[in-house]
Structure 1
Amino acid sequence: MEAQHTIVIADDHPLFRNALFQSVHMAISGANLLEADSLDSLLSLLEKEPDVDLLLLDLKMPGANGMSGLIQLRQQYPELPTVVISASEEEKVIRQVHSHGAFGFIPKSSDMRALISALNQVLDGEPFFPDNISENNQAYRDLADKIATLTPQQYKVLGMLSDGQLNKQIAYDLNVSEATIKAHMTAIFRKLDVKNRTQAVILLQQLDLDE
C-alpha cells in the first residue's frame, strides 16, 4: 500500500486492541493507528479525524447498546468503511451486521493469518464476510431504520432510558432541563412509533446482542 492508511480500532479490551494493533501493522505497513474504548470516545475521535480510511468496531463497547451502536455510526458516518470484529459469531449477528451496512465482519476467533487476509481484502475495496449473508429479516431492518432516525442526543437519551434512569437523572447527567428531556422523549416515541418508555426500551433491546 503506497498511501498511509488511517485506521481506528474501537474495542474496550486492551489485550485484544493490542493484538489487533499487531495484526494491522503486519497487514498494512506504515498504517496510522488510532484507538477508542467506548462509543463516546470513538465519536469524539471521529469528529477530530475526518480522514479515517477504516473503522474496526467491537459491538459490545460501553455505550454501544449492542447493534444500535453500529446503526448510529452508519447514520453519522455513512461513507466510513466499518468492519465489525466481534466474539458474537452467530449467523444471525453476521446477517444483522451486513444488513446495517457494515463493510465486513471478522470473527474474533480468527487466527493471525486469516485476520491479515481479511484486512487486506477490505483495504483493497472488497467487503469481507465469513459466509454468504442474505438480507431476509425485513422486520429487523425496519426497526433499525427507525432507530437510525434519532439524533445523537435522542439516541443517548434512549440509551440512558434503557439503563433505567428517570427523567430527572437523565437531565442532570446531560446538564439540561427536565423539559428538554421530555421534549426528546416525545420525539423519540414519535420516531419509533411507540406510546411510552417501556415500548421504546423493548425496541432498543431487540437490537441488543445480549438478548
Structure 2
Amino acid sequence: MQFVIADDHPLFRDALRRVVASHYPDAELLEADSTSSLQALLTAHDTPDLLLLDLHMPGASGFSGLVHVRAHYPSLPVIVVSGNEEPGVMRRAIAHGASGYIPKSTSLADMAAAIQQVLDGDVWLPPSARAAQSVALAPDEADIARRVRDLTPQQFRVLMMLADGLLNKQIAYELGVSEATIKAHMTAILKKLGASNRTQAVVAAARLQLDPSMRIVDVVEED
C-alpha cells in the first residue's frame, strides 16, 4: 500500500507516520510539506491508496487544496487532518469530497481506526461532527468549487499566489517562467472563474476559506 502524508508541520507528520507504520508496516510512505510538493508527488506516482491532507499547507487556503486534489485524482480517498474542530467545517470538508476528517487532537488509536474505516470505503468523522446536522454547501461555494476544479495544477498555483498578493513578475520569478506565461495563465484563470479582473478572482477563491469572513488581501490590478 502507498500513503501520502501532506502536512507542513514535521512533528505532526512524524505522528501520522508512526500511526501508519504501526498498523501498515509494509506500506510505502510519501511526504509533502506544501501544495506544490504534493502535486509533484502525485504526478510522479500512481494513484496512492490514501492521502492525509492538512488544510493549511503553504500554497493553498481553506478547502481549495482539497477541491483541486479531488478534481484531478477522483479515485484517491482523502482524509483531512486539521486543527479546526468546528463540526460545520468538518461537514463542509465531506461535502467537498473528503472521505474523513481527523482533528489534530484525536488520539493515535482513533486516527488508526479512522484510516482503516476510510480504506474500507466508509466515511469517518469524530463524534462531535456525527451528531451535527448535515451541511449543504451554499450555492456560491459549490459554484466556485466547481470552477476551481477546472484549473490546471499550474493555474491553481498562480491563483493561490495571486491570493497571497503577489504581482505577475513575482509569480513568474517563483515559478521560473516568463511574465508572459503568467499573463496567459491569468487570462485562463479569469475565464474559468467567471471573473473580469484579479480582485474578483481572489474574492471568488475566498469563498472556499474555512471562515469566509476573513480579510482578503489587497490585489493590485495589472495590465
Question: When the two structures are superposed, what TM-score results if normalisation uses the length of structure 2?
Answer: 0.85
Q: Which amino acid aligns with 1:134?
A: S
Gaps of at least 5 residues in structure 2 are 215-223
Q: Which consecutive aligned stretches of 4+ in structure 1 deviate over 6 angstroms post-superposition?
A: none
Indicate the residue corresponding to 1:136 in structure 2: 136
Indicate the residue corresponding to 2:178 in structure 1: 177
Q: Does 1:163 align with 2:159?
A: no
What is the distance in 2 between the residues matched to 1:46 and 1:153? 14
Residue 127 of structure 1 deviates from its aligned partner by: 1.7
Indicate the residue corresponding to 2:189 in structure 1: 188
Indicate the residue corresponding to 2:205 in structure 1: 204
1:14-49 superposed Cα distances (whole Å, 9 cap, x missing partner):
111111111122333322222111111111111222
Q: Does 1:71 align with 2:67?
A: yes
Indicate the residue corresponding to 1:46 in structure 2: 42
Indicate the residue corresponding to 2:147 in structure 1: 146
Q: Verify the 8 A CA contact 1:26 1:116 in the aligned structure 2.
A: no
Q: Which amino acid aligns with 1:96?
A: R
SS in 2 for 1:105: strand
Residue 51 of structure 1 deviates from its aligned partner by: 4.1
Once the two structures are superposed, the pairs formed by residues 76-155 of structure 1 within 5 Å of their partners are 76-130=72-126, 131-132=129-130, 134-137=134-137, 138-155=139-156
Q: Does 1:16 align with 2:17?
A: no
SS in 2 for 1:19: helix
Question: When the two structures are superposed, what TM-score results if normalisation uses the length of structure 1?
Answer: 0.90
Count how many residue pairs are aligned between Structure 1 and Structure 2. Answer: 207
Higher mean alpha-carbon deviation, 118-127 vs 80-89, is at: 118-127
What is the distance in 2 between the residues matched to 1:92 and 1:34? 30
What is the distance in 2 between the residues matched to 1:22 and 1:9? 11
SS in 2 for 1:56: strand
Q: Verify the 8 A CA contact 2:59 2:161 in the aligned structure 1.
A: no
SS in 2 for 1:206: helix
Q: Which amino acid aligns with 2:200?
A: Q
1:113-166 superposed Cα distances (whole Å, 9 cap, x missing partner):
211211121122222123346241233111211111111121111111111111
1:64-83 superposed Cα distances (whole Å, 9 cap, x missing partner):
22210111111111111111
Higher mean alpha-carbon deviation, 176-185 vs 54-63, is at: 176-185
Q: Which amino acid aligns with 2:90?
A: I
Q: Verify the 8 A CA contact 2:39 2:153 in the aligned structure 1.
A: no
Indicate the residue corresponding to 1:58 in structure 2: 54
Q: Verify the 8 A CA contact 2:92 2:136 in the aligned structure 1.
A: no
What is the distance in 1 between the residues matched to 2:172 and 2:32? 26
In 2 relative to 1, CA 175–34 (structure 1 residues): closer, same or farther, beyond 3 Å?
Answer: closer
Residue 7 of structure 1 deviates from its aligned partner by: 0.8
| Cα RMSD, aligned residues only | 1.7
In 2 relative to 1, CA 101–175 (structure 1 residues): closer, same or farther, beyond 3 Å?
Answer: same
What is the distance in 2 between the residues matched to 1:94 and 1:24? 22
Higher mean alpha-carbon deviation, 126-135 vs 106-115, is at: 126-135
